[in-house]
Amino acid sequence: MIKKIWKSAALMLLATAAVPGISLAETAPLTIGMSTTPTTLDPHEDSSAPNNATSRHIWDSLINLTGTSANEPELATGWKAIDPTHWEFKLREGVKFHDGSAFDAQDVVASLLRARDKPSQGFASYTRNIANVTAKDPMTVIVETSVPDPLLLNSVSRIRIISADCADASVQDFDGGKCAVGTGPYIFSSFNPGDRLILKRNDDYFAGASHWSDVTLRFLPDDGARLASLLSGEIDIVEALPADGMSRVEQSDALQVINGQSSRLVYLGMDVGRNVSPFVKAADGSALTENPLKDERVRRAMLMAINRPAIVDRVMQKNGTVADQFVAEGYAGHSEMIEPVGYDPKAAKALLAEAGYPDGFRLTLHGPSGRYVKDSEVLQAVGQMLARIGIQTQVEVQPWSMYSEAYPDGKFSVYFGSWGVNTGETTNPTVALVATRNEEKGTGRYNGGAVSDPEIDDVLAKASSTLDETERLPLLKKLSELTFGKLWLLPMHYENVVLGAKKTIRYTPRGDKYTLAYFVEPAQ
Amino acid sequence: MAISLIRRLIQALFVILAMTVIVFVGVSVIGNPVDILINPDANQAERLRLIAHYGLDQPLWKQYLLFLQGLMHGDFGDSFVYGRPALGLILERLPATFELAISALLIAIVVGLPLGLYAGLHPHRISSRIIMSGSILGFSLPTFWVGLMLVMVFSVELHWLPTNGRGATAEMLGVQWSFLTRDGLAHLLLPAFNLALFKTSLVLRLTRAGVQEVLPQDYIKFARAKGLADRRIIFVHVLKNLMIPLVTIIGLEFGSLIAFSVVTESIFAWPGMGKLIIDSINLLDRPVIVAYLMMMVVLFVALNFLIDVCYTLLDPRVRLDAKA
């Protein structure tokens, strides 16, 4: 009897052990059509979205950043702050690089320091507070920060862990494949810059081998090319499905549209600093002696005049979701206290009259073209809507290469701005967009409207040095309330993540818009 | 010949030098690469460090001199975006563009020349008129539209050919080529045809005009009177005289095929130089823009020289030395 039990137990053990091997198809290829082109495979050269999404296939980080910017254990199994400036990370045992070498603390030390010290400084915003990284023992790493940094975990989740052997490797070593060796779910096969990256499944991946045996990332920035590849069935899933192709995909029996919300906020920036703003004139075209945008009632009237649901629905063809604050529900710092401002042109006109502008005024809106989803079209629509409450609006769009330099420097009166909330919490957009500009402290770099609210600066300073999450969360909410209570920025919408895919697969879009093969699942 | 070669080389050097000045000044006027390339979360110190890293903290004239200094050592500078030598990046993509341009040119000659000859020799036939009307379409339809239509019809609807990309490649002379593999050839067909359409019409119309100009000439009449076979008259007397304008145009057009195949390369996601240069312009990647434009100048100068050499072979009256 006992023998029998043993036998069945052994059999069961064998069966469970064999399950992953059996369920993994010999050949299950997946091709992803990316809408942007990574510039290199070197994961520390430049922290752009396409580069980080691509490197995520080959390398892991200490912490996995989930689709809603939460932290999950990855190469680190646990972490804690020993004191305000020292963090301890316990590393995962038994992880191997693709070349068979073992992963340990030296790799982590080399990677974090490499990302910090690279001349390109691509990761500077994540590594600026890292004073030192040391290995306490082969499976424990201590990160020392120069100031208490509540965002350290998020920063660490951005930095891929490479083998210490490649610490001094050049960009070419990575692009050529010599150093394209990580611990991640896929193994480098070949890289053709500007064209495609071909990967194979890592059967020994510590989190479980991927369903896909061969993954190809195709770089297809041209909308037409990407759409055609999807329609012809050559590609399984494409990013940034062009709005004009959505109906074709919806009609198809084999294809589907996957829609999700991103953490990219689009807003209208307002010149609230100057007493006379360069692109605001009186209704008859004469110069104004005051700046109406400084009046909160005028800003509120403008927002009430803009029919945001219609813009999102029609102009953007459902490629966006109406926004009322920095981050959507589910992200740290989203506040329920913020009253959404509805579309009400009548009340807007009344409010404008109350503020002393019964006949409105003249305004030129500025924005980029081709940088964000339907940017110039959205701006045109806003212009027409403002005209209806008496603000005679002209729209001027510029190519991104010119606009990007001008708008943070306060060249405009009302401008189209956008911010990808990278960290999934509100200090990140506050520092850049509404904190008082201070070059030494590095605040307000994109504060093109010269917002300066001492209360915001105070709360921000507190939130940026508080490590305790329960103390910090109310501060994060406060930042949203202070910014959008006074409408220092007019919130427009969050861009949506719109993917086109075959019906044979499933994918949950991420806030940062990355398309990661490991998380693409076959539809049952 | 040798003297003219040297002269041309010196000329070319001056053109290139002028080009670098124009491009350097031009690119520095529009926008600031740092604003585009920097991580938006970066603070002022990080920003200054990046500016210094790219050498943009120096005055323009100093940047330019540093660039010239690098050039003496064959160094065009590192790309801001890719962090690699700019020249290497361009050379890496050169074969793909070259292959596409040569294929398109071959199609243009193989299709355009015979059709043009036919239409010129028999101008009143209905078939000739159809050919000529067809060539108007080839001229006037925009490349991007034709490209999209080709993809829609042959790839999306009929599934005969792949939509885009370069397909499998094989190595020859240390370079990867598409036309050596079946898959690569299938990928090459649509973009090459798309790129060739305009050029085919051009060659066709030039050939026809040339034939009609040459046919009434005395030497053709004389050849006829001498009783030469039609074949000989057409292929030796007519064609040879046609060649001079044709070679000029084909040569220059080859340059423009390489330099301006951007539209076709984007639609068909062909990993060539055209895509690289457009990306670089959008990202204000100055070293790549400058290196690319300099290469184009060299290319056009070289092509013009080759065209002149062809003249001497085709027309004994032309001598390079005398001309230069």
**CATH ID of A262-497, from 1.10.3720.10, 3.40.50.620, 3.60.15.30, 3.10.105.10:** 3.10.105.10
Q: Please list the residue range(s) of chain A that carry CATH number 3.40.190.10.
A: 29-254+503-522
Distance from CA of B193 to the nearest CA of A (A): 16
User: How many angstroms separate the CA of residue A339 from the nearest CA in chain B?
Assistant: 28
Tokens of B60: 């323009």
Q: Which domains does chain B have, with CATH numbers?
A: 91-283 (1.10.3720.10)
Q: Is A251 on the interface with B (CB under 8 A)?
A: no
Chain B partners within 8 Å of A224 (Cβ): 148, 151, 267
Q: CA torsion, points B230, B233, B236, B238, in degrees to nearest 10? A: -120
Cα–Cα distance for residue pair A492/A321, rounded to 1 Å: 9
User: In this structure, what are the phi and psi dihedrals at residue A134, rounded to the nearest 5 degrees?
Assistant: -135, 155
Per the CB < 8 A criterion, the answer to whether B203 and B109 are in contact is yes
Determine, for residues B30 and A402 on separate chains, whether the beta-carbon distance falls below 8 Å.
yes
Look at B156 and A231 and tell me if their CB atoms are within 8 Å.
yes
Considering only CB atoms, A171 lies closest to which of B41, B84, B155, namely B84
| Chain-chain contact of A121 with B279 (C-beta, under 8 angstroms) | no
- pLDDT of B175 strictly over 80: no
Summarised one tens digit per residue, pLDDT across range A351-408 is 999 999 999 999 999 999 888 888 999 999 999 999 999 999 999 999 887 888 888 8
Contact at CB, B155 and A442, closer than 8 angstroms:
no
Encoded tokens for A214: 């061969």
A interface test, pick of B28, B29, B32, B41 with most A CB neighbours within 10 Å: B41
A248 touches B: beta carbon within 8 Å: no
Are A405 and B35 in contact (CB < 8 Å)? Answer: yes
Q: Taking CB atoms and an 8 Å limit, are B43 and A234 in contact across chains?
A: no
The answer to whether A324 contacts chain B (CB < 8 Å) is no
Q: Which residues of A touch B266 (CB under 8 A)?
A: 221-222, 225
C-alpha span between A226 and A240 (Å, rounded): 9
Write down the pLDDT at residue B292.
87
pTM (2 d.p.): 0.79
- Residue ranges, comma separated, of all CATH 3.10.105.10 domains in chain A are 262-497
Report the C-alpha gap between A46 and A52 in whole angstroms: 8
Chain A contact set for B166 (CB, 8 A): 192, 195
Residue of A nearest to B165 (CA): A195
Cα(A414)–Cα(A274) distance, rounded to whole angstroms? 12
Mutate to test the interface with A, among B163, B263, B285, B286 (most CBs of A within 10 A): B163
Query: Residues B73-87: pLDDT tens digits?
Result: 878 888 888 878 888
> Do the Cβ atoms of A228 and B44 come within 8 Å?
no
> In this predicted structure, what is the pLDDT of residue A25?
64
Q: Which two tokens mark B24?
A: 């350097």
Angle at B164 (CA atoms; ends B159, B167), nearest 5 degrees = 95
CB contact under 8 A, B31 and A405: yes
Q: How far is B89 from chain A (nearest CA, A)?
A: 9
Q: What is the mean pLDDT of chain B?
A: 83
Min Cα separation B252/chain A (Å): 28
If pLDDT is split at 50, 70 and 90, which confidence band does B95 have?
confident
Q: Which residue of B has its CA nearest to A220?
A: B269
Instruction: Assign A104 a pLDDT band (cuts: 50, 70, 90).
Output: very high
Q: Which of B28, B43, B54 to mutate to test the interface with A (most CBs of A within 10 A)?
A: B43
Chain A positions touching B82 (Cβ under 8 A) are: 39-40, 171, 193
A512 touches chain B (CB under 8 A): no
CA A152 to the chain's CA centroid: 17
Q: Tell me, what's the pLDDT at A491?
A: 95
What is each CA distance from B194 to A175, A316, B100, B186, B188, in whole angstroms? 31, 32, 10, 14, 10
Nearest chain A residue to B284, by CA:
A401
Average pLDDT, chain A: 89
Residue A121 touches partner B, C-beta closer than 8 Å: yes
Answer yes or no: is pLDDT of A6 > 70. no
Residues 227-246 on A with a CB inside 8 Å of B are 228-229, 231-234
Contact B44 A224 (CB under 8 A): no
Distances (CA, A) of A155 to A64, A106, A184, B63, B272: 11, 19, 19, 34, 36
Q: Between the ranges A115-129, A163-177, B161-175, B222-236, where is the mean pLDDT highest?
A: A163-177
Q: Closest by alpha carbon to A276, among A394, A453, A450?
A: A450
pLDDT band at B170 (very low <50, low <70, confident <90, very high): confident
B165 contacts in chain A (CB < 8 Å): 195-196, 218
Q: Among B44, B159, B163, whose Cβ lies nearest the Cβ of A225?
A: B163
| Mean pLDDT, rounded, for A242-261 | 87
Query: CA-nearest residue of chain B to A419?
Result: B40
Of residues A125, A233, A446, nearest to B46 (C-beta): A125
Max avg pLDDT among A214-218, B146-150, B178-182: A214-218
CB-nearest partner of B46 from A128, A218, A419: A128
d(CA A192, CA B289): 21
At residue A20, the pLDDT reads: 43
- Model confidence band, residue B318 (pLDDT cutoffs 50, 70, 90): low
Minimal C-alpha gap between B65 and chain A (Å)? 22
* Contact by Cβ (8 Å): A268, A503: no
State the best of A232, A418, A438, A445 to mutate against chain B, taking most chain B CBs within 10 Å: A232
Interval A41-53 mean pLDDT = 89
CB neighbours of B115 closer than 8 A, spacing ≥ 6? B131, B204, B207
How many residues are given for chain B?
324
Query: Closest residue of A to B42, CA-based?
Result: A125
Residue with more model confidence, A248 or B321: A248
Lowest mean pLDDT segment, chosen from A99-113, A444-458, B29-43: B29-43
pLDDT higher at A418 or B314: A418
Q: How confident is the model at residue A345 (pLDDT cuts 50, 70, 90)?
A: very high
A412 pLDDT above the threshold of 50: yes
Q: Read off the pLDDT of residues A261-278 as tens digits, 9 standing for 90 and up.
A: 888 999 999 999 999 999
Which residues in chain A have Cβ-Cβ distances shorter than 8 Å to B47? 445
For A420, nearest residue in chain B (alpha carbons): B40
Residue of A123, A401, A442 with shortest CB distance to B36: A401
- pLDDT score at A13: 44
A230 or B312: which leads in pLDDT: A230
Q: Chain A to chain B, count of Cβ pairs less than 8 Å apart? A: 144
* Contact criterion met (CB below 8 Å) for B109 and B204: no
Statement: residue B173 has pLDDT above 80: no
With a cut of 70, say whether residue B233 has pLDDT above it.
yes
Lowest mean per-residue pLDDT among A477-486, B113-122, B237-246:
B237-246
Pick A29-254+503-522's CATH classification: 3.40.190.10, 3.50.50.60, 3.30.565.10, 3.40.50.740: 3.40.190.10
Taking every pair of C-alpha atoms in chain B, what is the biggest distance, in angstroms?
86
